[in-house]
Amino acid sequence: MALAAIFAAGCIASASAQAQKLPAGFVYLRDVDPTIIQDIRYAGSNNFVGRPLRGYGAAECVVKRKVGVLLKSVQKELALQDLSLKMFDCYRPARAVADMLAWSRDGRETTAQRRYNPSFSKADLFRLGYIAERSGHSTGAALDLTLVDLKVDNSATFNPNKDYADCIGNVNLRTPEGSVDMGTGYDCSDAKAHTAARSITAAQRRWREKLVLLMARRGFVNYSKEWWHFSLPGAAGQAYDFPITPRK
């Protein structure tokens, strides 16, 4: 019995270690800075596909170590202003990108999915540059993120049974994100989500400009069609397809 128990415990420990193993140079962001808020949307149903994407076995932000250190620097600066980063997506397995492509070509489109691309068909997302067939996220050097005001109530959560407004609608009617109002929801495929869009308020523009400036100071470059997307030139390298597994 004792030997069996020891063997079983060893197997559990081995499985746990395997679940936390990442390729060289990658880290769980929580191990670098646990204060950064995470809402990894592709690990659940609160996204434009409406289900977890392939490869997202855990709602964890995984990044290149250098990227994590730079995010920690941003967070340190924000903490002095009662603000925080919130991560929506980090490393994205190549299989998840393929899952997105297959979804865009399946010929079906629900009302919930149209909240994220209210002006055109999902089949046009790749052609128009809103989703890439080869994503920089798969290198571990691209990020989707926003800012959170820690002084306000951010407790509202996503209700899959609720009929929310389009991602370009009023912030009080859109899917709740527990973050500052950037003018559109996350993953909104629309001209209003372009970082320099003119169709947003002065306050929304200031939040976007603040985020871009904070990230630019650390070398991150924003993608002009998505106010939330940033990449770190020179840190990308090859694309990976390892699944995101529980940290512990």
Q: What's the CATH number where 133 sits? A: 3.30.1380.10
60 within some domain: yes
| Two tokens, residue 228 | 């939330």
- Among residues 75, 92, 108, the alpha carbon closest in space to that of 244 is found at 92
Active centre residues (catalytic): 226
| Number of compact structural domains in the chain | 1
Helix 65-79 to helix 202-216 angle, to the nearest 10 degrees? Answer: 130
91 within some domain: yes
- Banded pLDDT at 16 (limits 50, 70, 90): very low
124 within some domain: yes
Annotated binding site for Zn(2+): 137, 144, 229
16 within some domain: no
* 31-78 tens-digit pLDDT: 999 999 999 999 999 999 999 999 999 999 999 999 999 999 999 999
Tell if the pTM clears 0.75, that is, is over it: yes
Q: Range of 214's domain?
A: 22-231
38 within some domain: yes
- Banded pLDDT at 18 (limits 50, 70, 90): very low
